[in-house]
Amino acid sequence: MRLNNIAGLSFDLDDTLWPFNAAVLKAEAALYQWLQHQAPATAGILSGPEQLRQFRNNLAVTCPAMAHDPALLRRTSIRNILMAAGENPDLADPGYDLFYAERQKVTFFDDALPALKYLSRHYPLAAISNGNADLAAIGIDHFFEARFFAHQLGIAKPDARIFHASAVALNIAPSNMLHVGDDVELDVRGALLAGCKAAWLVRDRAQDALAGADDVSDTLIIQNLHQLCDMLG
């Protein structure tokens, strides 16, 4: 892949800049404890914080129209739990607010902040996410000139339109934008189908990635973001 014509980069967030599950597990544990105090009857519905995820995932299956909106999914699942337990469903809003605040307490991969600092000095950056992280609360909003979230646009990766919107916002052609992400379907194939270039961040999955990369041969495969900085020079 030629990297000398890259004029801007877009980044996935969850599992690219920080581990997603670690952040959500901590947020679910905090929400579970809160529910035990504020709505004790939910103890008959929830045996542990892991069931919060199960309620949320089940709702995503039965109500696919909500799939692009993580906040709506989570808030509605909390409300459903409260109603099933005979508790006040209005507690869903403060419960979600607590969950959302905890979800922003991410632990960055060691290479994430140095790479964002370096790359933002040399290229315009955009964030593209199917999640709903709060970049200002997390403390990295200043690195990005544009931010695109599926729940705001009503479209999600791998839809080409979300990549095209990022290229337009950065004032570059899609062919001059390099998208960086960990998911081969949402990030890599999505970016390539949109006419962008793609960098597949595999971290400790290098061998698995190489084994399954036949149809995304025109892809930069990297194990960390330091490699990306070195390659872009």
pLDDT one-digit tens code per residue, 159-168 = 999 999 999 9
**What integer is the mean pLDDT of 180-205?**
94
To the question of pTM greater than 0.75 for the whole model, the response is yes
So what's the pLDDT on residue 121?
97
In the structure, what pLDDT confidence band is assigned to residue 233 with cuts at 50, 70 and 90? Answer: confident
Tell whether the model's pLDDT for residue 211 goes beyond 90: no
Q: How far apart are the first and last CA of the chain?
A: 15
- The domain limits of the chain are 8-19+107-232, 21-103
Q: How confident is the model at residue 214 (pLDDT cuts 50, 70, 90)?
A: low
Residue-wise pLDDT tens digits, 106-160: 999 999 999 999 999 999 999 999 999 999 999 999 999 999 999 999 899 999 9
**CATH classification code of 21-103:** 1.20.120.1600
- CATH topology assigned to domain 8-19+107-232: Rossmann fold (3.40.50)
